[in-house]
Structure 1
């Protein structure tokens, strides 16, 4: 009797965990697009923290900019965000994807910066060598008397 009661309780618990807390909205933003939106929001929020003056000078409202870029509205975003937040494993995966994407972008930008820096250094060295060569060629000329 105890065993069968335990099994029934376990089945009820599992069934209740599978129940959706929030119904899927009709205008749900797909997961991959939400990841891009979250990534863009992270970048814009970082920009707001460092260059809020430039955003204001250019008349850019970050949230409106993102909604227009992805062709969504605030209600659609809120509904989709709430739905995904009610599914913690999916939500966590989405944020890990955002983190991975941002890290990859950071590494790519650092690599490009290092390449540009090394090209700049190489140009400076070449310029210096050309100046030295031209100096040497003018000073070694013998002026006839």
Structure 2
């Protein structure tokens, strides 16, 4: 009896293991599109944190994202959860977002420099604390 119980527990534990903790959603947002969405969300958060969001509420920001990318909130949450389940891949996605932000900063600084405005001589780098951390 004891051997059967041990065998049953061992079999149960082997069958219950699943490498895919989060299954791929039916309406998964493509990776490139998700990177663009993450970029836009970070820009919106930056606008809100600087108190320059004249009439730009969280609801209108969300609606803007949903309309622009033709997605809904559930699709966004499920896709984000799916991509976040692979930490290494999710970090690569945020590295691409960071690169896009740095490129935009350089473009803006170049335009300001042409107009004679003072420009920082340092290369723009986002501090690691600005990148959302997966817990």
Band of TM-score, shorter chain = 0.5 to 0.7
Give distance in 2, aligned partners of 1:52 and 1:116.
23
**TM-score with structure 1 length normalisation?**
0.63
Q: Which structure has the greater CA radius of gyration?
A: 1
Q: Is the 8 A contact 1:48 1:55 kept in 2?
A: no
C-alpha displacement of 1:52? 4.8
Counterparts of 1:40-51 in structure 2, within 5 Å, are 40-51=40-51
Q: How does 1:44-83 map to 2 (within 5 A)?
A: 44-56=44-56, 61-83=60-82
Q: Are residues 40 and 56 of structure 1, via their aligned partners in 2, closer, same or farther at CA, if it must alter by over 3 Å?
A: closer
Shift of 1:113: 1.0
Equivalents in 2 of 1:53, 1:84: separation in Å? Answer: 29
Residue 28 of structure 1 contacts residue 80 of structure 1 at CA under 8 Å; is this kept in 2? Answer: yes
Structure 1 or 2: more helix by fraction: 1
1:33 CA drift (Å): 0.5
Q: Which residue is 2:113 aligned to?
A: 114
Closer, same or farther: CA 88–67 of 1 in aligned 2, 3 Å: same
Structure 1's 53 and 79: CA in aligned 2 closer, same or farther, altered over 3 A?
closer
Q: Deviations along 1:110-129, whole A, 9 cap, x unmatched? A: 001111227xxxxxxxxxxx
Q: 5+ unaligned residues in a row in structure 2: which ranges?
A: 1-16, 118-135
Flag as ranges the 4+ runs of structure 1 deviating above 6 A: none
RMSD, aligned CA: 2.3
Report how many aligned residue pairs link the two structures.
101
CA distance in 2, matches of 1:100, 1:90: 15
Structure 1 residue runs of 5 or longer lacking an equivalent are 1-15, 119-145
Structure 2 counterpart SS, 1:37 = helix
